[in-house]
């Protein structure tokens, strides 16, 4: 468990993420996914992250269904985070206007089946909406009791500072893994300086760091990775060669490569939580064990040496896939 920065929220260091349950990662078994969420809860996970854009409410509804008993028995036993302010495929993919956010919060409350959202995050920065409007709109929703805490996702330092001028940013959700390290220069230092709780997504590189992929791996057309340069050609081959070396290192720690990748993220100064998705109950156990894996300074140096041979990659955005 950890305190999520200035939000004061007490959360598990492993957060169950639900992007994979919104239809952008190919088909999945809904009952198995619900079982995975419930199993995570049984194992002590109290932090769950979703978004309005994950299937336009589909992932939120599934999460609400899976947590229904916990919500009814003790609402404060679970910390539910969701995100709004984007509409992929729409005329305006990024929309953090007061009207759109307010409508999104109402829809998320309905999909989740709750009377308040513990942490509401702006999914992506919107250059067409003044930060003052976005921040003040979310503060209004806090004042009304519909959301408890305010965060942002995919913001850089300048955008965080601009938002902060109207109301404090309590949390930040950026992408971060061994093949995507841009936040180390910006905005992680700002987050540390301002006690912003950091929950990172894609700790496993959207599958790159699971050890399950091969150079000839393919993806369903509905899986966004089928369009990503990170999962094709030389980029994929080079990074999977790095993963093979990491597997050997992990074996020496009596761990899996996934556990090492998650533990590495959690070992970075300023990172409070790693968001990890799962579609089956057995997948979450491996991830939870990573929170107890201690990496020494020598371990971290060896991981740096191995991953220096890799290729830095990008991911998906509201406008498409890099």
What is the distance in angstroms between the CA of the first residue and the CA of the last residue of the chain?
Answer: 34
Cα(239)–Cα(307) distance, integer angstroms = 8
What letter would DSSP give residue 116?
-
Q: Cβ distance 197 to 160 under 8 Å?
A: no
Strand 14-17 versus strand 47-49 pairing type: parallel
Residues 6+ apart with CB under 8 A from 248: none
Cα(91)–Cα(87) distance, integer angstroms = 8
112 in helix, strand or coil? Answer: helix
Tokens of 22: 């919104």
Q: Which of 54, 176, 190, 201 is catalytic?
A: 54
Q: Cβ distance 148 to 117 under 8 Å?
A: yes
Tokens of 305: 């040496």
Strand 273-277 versus strand 14-17 pairing type: parallel
- Angle 24-28-30 from CA coordinates, rounded to 5°: 115
Q: Cβ distance 84 to 122 under 8 Å?
A: yes
176 catalytically annotated: no
Q: Cβ distance 209 to 178 under 8 Å?
A: yes
CA distance readout (Å), 205 to 247, 262, 320? 15, 10, 17
**Phi-psi domain of 118 (left: phi exceeds 0; alpha: psi -120 through 50; beta: other):** alpha
Residues 6+ apart with CB under 8 A from 4: 10, 11, 170, 171, 197, 199, 272, 273
Catalytic residue set: 54
């Amino acid at each position: 468990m950890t305190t999520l920065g200035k939000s004061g929220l007490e959360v598990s260091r492993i957060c169950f993420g639900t992007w994979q349950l919104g239809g952008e990662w190919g088909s999945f078994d809904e009952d198995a996914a619900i079982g995975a969420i419930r199993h995570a809860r049984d194992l002590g996970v109290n932090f769950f992250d979703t978004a309005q854009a994950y299937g336009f409410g589909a992932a939120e509804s599934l999460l609400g269904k899976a947590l229904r008993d916990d919500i009814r028995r003790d609402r404060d036993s679970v910390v539910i985070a969701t995100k709004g302010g984007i509409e992929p495929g729409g005329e305006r993919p990024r929309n953090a206007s007061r009207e759109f956010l307010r409508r999104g919060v109402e829809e998320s409350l309905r999909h989740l089946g709750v009377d308040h959202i513990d942490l509401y995050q702006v999914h992506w920065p919107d250059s067409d909406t003044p930060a003052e409007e976005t921040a003040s709109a979310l503060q209004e929703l806090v004042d009304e009791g519909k959301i408890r805490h305010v965060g942002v996702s995919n913001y850089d330092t300048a955008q965080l500072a601009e938002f902060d001028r109207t109301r404090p940013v309590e949390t930040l959700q950026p992408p971060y893994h061994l093949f995507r390290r841009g936040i180390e220069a910006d905005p992680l230092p700002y987050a540390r300086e301002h006690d912003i709780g950091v929950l990172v997504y894609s700790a496993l590189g959207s599958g790159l760091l699971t050890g399950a992929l091969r150079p000839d791996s393919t993806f369903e057309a509905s899986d966004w990775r089928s369009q990503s340069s990170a999962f094709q050609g030389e980029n994929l081959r080079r990074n999977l060669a790095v993963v093979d070396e990491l597997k050997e290192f992990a074996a020496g720690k009596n761990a899996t490569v996934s556990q090492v990748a998650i533990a590495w993220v959690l070992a970075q100064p300023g990172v409070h939580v790693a968001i990890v998705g799962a579609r089956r109950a057995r997948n979450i156990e491996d991830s939870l064990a990573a929170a107890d894996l201690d990496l020494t300074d020598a371990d971290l140096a060896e991981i740096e040496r191995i991953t220096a041979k890799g290729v830095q990659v990008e991911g998906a955005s509201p406008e498409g896939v890099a």
